[in-house]
Structure 1
Amino acid sequence: MMRYIPPILFLGTMALAVPTASAQVVPTDGSPHGMVAVGAGIVPEFDGAQDMRAVPFVLGDVRWGDVTMEFRGLRARVDLASDPRLSAGPLIGLRLGRNDADGAVGWLPEIDMAVEAGAFVGYRFGGDRYGQGSIQVELSLAHDVSNTHNGLIATASASYAAVRTTDFFLSVDAQSSWTNADYARTYFGVDRAGATASGLDLYRPGAGFRDIGGGMSAGYWFSLRFGVMARAGANYLVGDIADSPITDEGRRLQPMAALALSYRF
């Protein structure tokens, strides 16, 4: 079956904490400066799927005065905190739907793309002038505002900047998400009509932890302006979501990877 491939996709937490200014001259006139990266990635076809698909990938950080606009594929947010160690502000994003799935899951109702809005707060501990050795902790909350799943997703994450120099960075991260019952039942539940159509068992999950995950991000700037970035990670579904017959048709381990060329301005 043909599948819709979005122009951009959020890969996991993407906790890159990219050092865009460490080897870059910051404009003295207050004009915008930052980094954008464009490349390709591979992700599961939908939450809980076993098959993978290739997708384009876009990421960016643009700073204008004390405000930073961050783009991670289908999610965007604005950091309004002027303190370099504190980050906080609103976020908005899209969650891909489930369409044209193979096998028994394909007989379940299709799910439209969801629009989610919320807020985040984070803090960075330690680190040298480049940020090496720092630990970043963060909590985000996002709620569906498109009446697709009407759910709430809370995500806690932490990342460690293992290496951070003027031309190279390497960081590792971990995260876990909690969802309410509305989200879990939309994406991993099977109602009576769905069970009849698909042959899957009737299933009604409740609120709880969705997954635990981790990954590694690295980047190298081979000139003042241009570089390359890579990301690899995986989430492991847990709780009621892991016990869903939809997950049984796919797999609990949800890997992802991306490679992109980056540009600083």
Structure 2
Amino acid sequence: MARPRAPNRRATSCRCSWTICIEPDQGTRVKQRPGGMPPHPSQVLARRGLVTSLTWLALVAAPTVAQAQFGDPGGEGTAATDTGQIGAAALSTPRYMGADHNRLRALPYLSYRWANGWFVDGINGVGYGGSPTPGLQMGVHVGVSPDREESDDPALRGMGNVNRGAELGGFAHQRLGSWLGGKLSLRSHLRYGSGEDRQGGQAELGLGWGTRLGERSLMNLGLAANWANQGYMQTYFGVTRAQSTSSGYTEHKTDGGLRDLRLSLVVIQLFSPTTVGLLMVSQTYWQGDAADSPLVQEKRNTMAVAALMYRF
């Protein structure tokens, strides 16, 4: 029996084995690869948000070092059917933003996305994403803000703990077209609710370029800038008078502004129609009051992630 197609999608007749691809401006699907030209690099490995969820995992799982790069929580458009994802990732991340040492850890990952656009996972919380116009994905979510504990690193002794809290977010992803044999995309992400007073906010803007490396592999290069308001900057990079007394750091008052610039490289490998591996390396360059903070011992932080995901 033929598998029913999602509405408003073109029928495609094929004769070969599986390939993950996107039909331009009509969402993602798994289809058999025709005997002619293979799909465009950016059209590979994108089954119902699997790739974007993996990339988002690679960038969000690290505690507040880098977020929302080349992946929105809701994935690409609206899935034809309900789908879940389960996997694990090994991470090397800074102990805190600006730390001069990394720590190794392993994290599980579980998410589920409904065909109507709603999604839930352990990183982004609960949200909704959809595609109001071809090439544009937008959505909102409610997640958890990053925490920080004195025990994370000896350099944080006397600084007190930053607790988690509810954080509101909104994201958008716009495909821009082709450039130098790859596909360009523009992504933005707004978040609000972090920090000690729950008034910390961030705005991130990222540009991505993706191309194929092989029949079932994809590479993404990314450049992103992140701005933060005074509430966020003071919580994670400032030093109050009381903290100065208990920690020995010089008092440091912050303003809102550019927080960091980030470069990233992501390589994605498709092992089967349901199994994907990911390798990611990113460099974060702290800027402005963040870079001037006495807490920042290294103005360039490196993060690496290796992940394996299974879709069901």
TM range (shorter): 0.7 to 0.9
| Distance of 1:165 and 1:70 partners within structure 2 | 32
The alignment-based identity, stated in percent, is 23
Q: Give the gaps of 5 or more residues in structure 1.
A: 1-7, 22-26
| Distance of 1:172 and 1:34 partners within structure 2 | 27
Aligned residues: 243
Name the residue aligned to 1:13. Answer: 68
User: C-alpha offsets along residues 153-203 of structure 1, whole Å, 9 cap, x if unaligned?
Assistant: 000111111227662111111111101111111111111111111111111
Name the residue aligned to 2:106. Answer: 56
| Distance of 1:187 and 1:125 partners within structure 2 | 34
Moved more, 171-180 or 110-119: 110-119
**Aligned residue identity for 2:251:** L
Q: Give the gaps of 5 or more residues in structure 2.
A: 1-59
User: C-alpha offsets along residues 42-64 of structure 1, whole Å, 9 cap, x if unaligned?
Assistant: 11111121221123345677654
Contact residue 74 and residue 95 of structure 1 kept, 8 A: no
| Distance of 2:100 and 2:143 partners within structure 1 | 24
- Alignment pair present for 1:255 and 2:255: no
- Give the Å deviation of 1:12: 3.6
Contact residue 39 and residue 261 of structure 1 kept, 8 A: yes
- Alignment pair present for 1:177 and 2:226: yes
- Structure with more contact order per residue of length (Cα contacts < 8 Å, sep ≥ 6): 1
Contact residue 169 and residue 219 of structure 1 kept, 8 A: yes
Contact residue 12 and residue 233 of structure 1 kept, 8 A: no
Equivalent residue of 2:259, what SS?
strand
Equivalent residue of 2:295, what SS?
helix
| Distance of 2:222 and 2:120 partners within structure 1 | 18
Name the residue aligned to 1:136. Answer: 185
Contact residue 177 and residue 185 of structure 2 kept, 8 A: no
Q: Which has the larger radius of gyration?
A: 2
Equivalent residue of 1:81, what SS?
strand
**Aligned residue identity for 2:81:** S
- Alignment pair present for 1:216 and 2:284: no
- Give the Å deviation of 1:81: 1.6
Equivalent residue of 1:240, what SS?
helix
- Alignment pair present for 1:88 and 2:135: no
| Distance of 1:229 and 1:101 partners within structure 2 | 27
Name the residue aligned to 1:43. Answer: 93
| Distance of 2:215 and 2:114 partners within structure 1 | 21
**Aligned residue identity for 1:189:** G
Contact residue 146 and residue 194 of structure 2 kept, 8 A: no
Name the residue aligned to 2:49. Answer: none
Contact residue 269 and residue 276 of structure 2 kept, 8 A: yes
TM (norm. structure 1) is 0.79
Write out aligned runs for 1:1-265 (5 A): 9-10=61-62, 12-15=67-70, 30-33=80-83, 35-57=85-107, 64-65=114-115, 67=117, 69=119, 74-76=123-125, 77-99=127-149, 100-127=151-178, 133-144=182-193, 148-163=197-212, 167-247=216-296, 250-265=297-312
User: C-alpha offsets along residues 16-63 of structure 1, whole Å, 9 cap, x if unaligned?
Assistant: 58xx99xxxxx9xx5324654422111111112122112334567765
Contact residue 57 and residue 258 of structure 1 kept, 8 A: no
**Aligned residue identity for 1:80:** G
Q: 1:205 to 1:198 in 2, by over 3 A?
A: same
Q: 1:108 to 1:95 in 2, by over 3 A?
A: same
Equivalent residue of 2:272, what SS?
coil
TM (norm. structure 2) is 0.68
Q: 1:104 to 1:257 in 2, by over 3 A?
A: closer
**Aligned residue identity for 2:303:** M
